[in-house]
Amino acid sequence: MSIPPLPVLQALKKSSSTMANRSTPFIYNEWYVAAFSEEVTRTLLPRILLDKRVVMFRTEDGKPVALSDRCAHRAYPLSLGALDGDTIVCGYHGFRFNCDGNCTEVPSSAKLPGNIGVASYPVVERGLLVWIWLGDPALADESRLPEQEWIGQDSWATSHGYFELKSNYVSMHENLLDLSHLSFLHAKTFGTPDYAKAAFKSEVGDGYFALYRDVVPTTLPPLWAKPTGLEGCETAARIVKSEFKSPAFHQVNVSFYDNKLAEKDRNVSRIKTAHILTPQTHSSCHYFIVHGRDFGLEDDSITQFMHENLFKAFNEDVTGMAALEEVWRTTAPDEMYEISVGADGPSVAMRRYIKRRADAEAQSRTGEVAIAREGAPADTEATA
Ligand code: FES
Ligand SMILES: [Fe+2]
């Protein structure tokens, strides 16, 4: 086997260049998850999100706040300072910043220099998640949050966890959109040999991409067979829908039942997993996971069993994505190309969508609010 002939190679490279990858600019005008709710407390929480340094805390009356984690004075991390009520006191020279990012006191100056502050980012708390908007604040419309109604509902038992992914977020979205990798990357956990060969269909919408795969009949791996009561069943159905809902949010929905039973007699067990991706840098990503099931709601032993085993499986993605990132990192861009097959249809469309949006946003960006607000105006020094 040799590499493709030159004209084919050039065509592949051209086609690959229309798809987002690790060097594609970030899309800032989107809601991303900044943290699980429980992480945002009265202790200052630093986090790098889309290459921006952010510090988060909760006000005395419980509201989450996110500010730029870079003091307007000499760029010291505000997260190394202290909270005084709802004000952050910088740990270097003591400038104080309120929840809106406005500087309210400069200890060395009797008179407060005007118009200085740090960026304050819109945040919204929904169920287990704190969402942040790092783009144009005028566009931070809550109706643009991806649908996630099951998270926090009593009819779903959930568990959640986090990985720092040593990979760009685009690769992980693609991983999630084509689960044929279950038969290989997850051969020892929740994949089965028949998974990759199962019939699939895809859906490509405007910013929405889905892949459906029906694995029927199948024998479920213990991770699913045990909690669903389908151990030993050789006629199980595993009906999967993998959905890209936004650059920040991917959801996998699966139904399990015994396919030899008539539809009316089936006991259908459903699971949903939210795979929530927030770029940290272009080569790393916050990977928040919320897993839910609609059966055995009161049985904590199921929660524990599924959580432990699922997170072992998800760790295989973490390892795999780091290996993939390393290939991209060490390959010259003009040598990189990819060959796509039928099951990659939604992934290719999704990557083109991210690239189009990212490039358009990068072109229209004329200077970010955060940068515009940070730093004292020229006349400040005279008043200090
Ligand atoms: S760097 Fe924050 S007060 Fe000087
Ligand atoms: Fe995976």
CB-based neighbours (< 5 A) of ligand 2, an ion: 317
Q: What is the pLDDT of residue 369?
A: 43
Ligand 1 near 93 CB (within 6 A): yes
- The amino acid at 118: V
Ligand 1 near 109 CB (within 6 A): no
Reply yes or no on whether the pLDDT at 361 is more than 70: yes
Taking the centre of ligand 1 as the mean of its atom positions, its distance from the CA of residue 129, in whole angstroms, is: 31
Q: What is the pLDDT of residue 11?
A: 67
Average pLDDT, the chain: 92
Domains of the chain: 31-134 (2.102.10.10), 157-362 (3.90.380.10)
3-state secondary structure at position 255: strand
pLDDT tens for 103-113 read 999 999 988 88
Mean pLDDT of 285-307: 96
Q: What is the pLDDT of residue 365?
A: 78
Reply yes or no on whether the pLDDT at 368 is more than 60: no
Least confident of 8-12, 34-38, 113-117, 204-208: 8-12
Taking the centre of ligand 2 as the mean of its atom positions, its distance from the CA of residue 178, in whole angstroms, is: 9
Which is more confidently placed, 114 or 298?
Answer: 298
What percent of the chain shows pLDDT beyond 70?
A: 91
Q: Which ligand is nearest to the CA of 189?
A: 2
Taking the centre of ligand 2 as the mean of its atom positions, its distance from the CA of residue 320, in whole angstroms, is: 9
Q: Which ligand is nearest to the CA of 321?
A: 2
Reply yes or no on whether the pLDDT at 375 is more than 60: no
What is the 8-class DSSP label of residue 56?
A: E
Q: Which ligand is nearest to the CA of 82?
A: 1
Q: What is the pLDDT of residue 2?
A: 64
Q: What is the pLDDT of residue 113?
A: 81
Q: Give the position of tokens 């400040």.
A: 380
Taking the centre of ligand 1 as the mean of its atom positions, its distance from the CA of residue 39, in whole angstroms, is: 25
Taking the centre of ligand 1 as the mean of its atom positions, its distance from the CA of residue 313, in whole angstroms, is: 44
Give the torsion sign (CA, 327, 35, 211, 293): positive
Counting from 1 in the atom list of ligand 1, the atom nearest the Cα of 81 is 2
What is the maximal distance between C-alpha atoms in the chain? 82
pLDDT tens for 11-65 read 666 666 889 999 999 999 999 999 999 999 999 999 999 999 999 999 999 999 9
Ligand 1 near 90 CB (within 6 A): yes
Cβ-Cβ contacts under 8 Å for 141 (sequence gap 6 or more): none
Taking the centre of ligand 1 as the mean of its atom positions, its distance from the CA of residue 96, in whole angstroms, is: 9
Where does the pLDDT of residue 383 fall: very low under 50, low under 70, confident under 90, or very high at 90 and above?
very low
Provide the edge-to-edge strand list for the sheet that holds 249-258: 157-165, 284-293, 269-281, 249-258, 236-246, 209-218, 199-204
Burial of 312 (0-12, 13-18, 19+ CB in 10 A): middle
Instruction: Record the pTM.
Output: 0.92
Q: Give the position of tokens 């990759």.
A: 196
Hey, which of 73, 84, 118, 374 would you mutate to test ligand 1's pocket, going by the most ligand atoms within 8 Å of its Cβ?
73
Q: Which ligand is nearest to the CA of 179?
A: 2
Hey, which of 55, 74, 87, 108 would you mutate to test ligand 1's pocket, going by the most ligand atoms within 8 Å of its Cβ?
74
Mean pLDDT of 66-80: 98
Mean pLDDT of 138-156: 93
Ligand 1 near 73 CB (within 6 A): yes
Where does the pLDDT of residue 337 fall: very low under 50, low under 70, confident under 90, or very high at 90 and above?
confident
Contact 93, 68 (CB under 8 A): no
Ligand 1 near 107 CB (within 6 A): no
